[in-house]
Amino acid sequence: MKQMTGQAGYLKFGPLNVGLVAFFCLPWLLLSGCMGYRVGGHLPPGIASVFVPTVENDSGEPQLEASTTAAIIERFQSDGRLAIRDAETADAWVEVRITDSEIIPLRYDRDTAVTATEYRLTLFAETTLIRRDDETRILDRYPVEGWVEFRTDGDLSSARRAALPEASRELGRQVVRAIVEYW
């Protein structure tokens, strides 16, 4: 087989040569892009269960402690990567402190530019994951937030009160996500 060369001794690449290079090199390039990829989070060694004490609430929003704690526990159970245990048998415990809440208008009424019809309620929190046996802080005051958008028909305080349970569920989802996907 005769080698085709162009100017200065460089190989000429015809359609057949390009196809062969692509056939042999492309799979290696694609596979190398997947190296290091993993499905799901890897938890630190020795952490298979958690205890979730009642969430602390420094936000000023009433009665978020119980609903957010329940949302976190429910989310851990549906996720399945960490079991819920009591304080004496859990490998780690999760401390969550709701630090603030914020409501911002998103959409205004067409007729009056000062009346908002849609809002976003955001709950801000800090999450700490502590290993039980040596009290090492695996996550230390990691910031998380849960938010919900809602519409109002004039009574903002009632609409806000009705949106709080959904915001606390979203906060619970984000707390669990932060813990299981941190690694």
pLDDT in tens, 76-131: 999 999 999 999 999 999 999 999 999 999 988 777 777 888 999 999 999 999 99
Q: Give the tens place of pLDDT for each residue, 39-52.
A: 545 677 889 999 99
**What does 80-139 look like in DSSP terms, one character per residue?**
-SSEE--TTT-SEEEEEEEEEEEEEEEEE-SS-TT-EEEEEEEEEEEEEEEETTT--EEE
The CATH class given to the 49-180 domain equals alpha beta
- Find which of 31-35, 39-43, 60-64 is predicted with most confidence, using mean pLDDT: 60-64
The C-alpha atoms of residue 72 and residue 125 are separated, in whole angstroms, by 13
- Partners of 92 in beta bridges: 50, 131
Is-contact 94 72, C-beta < 8 A? yes
Q: What is the pLDDT of residue 139?
A: 92
Q: For residue 9, is it left (φ>0), alpha (ψ between -120 and 50) or beta?
A: left
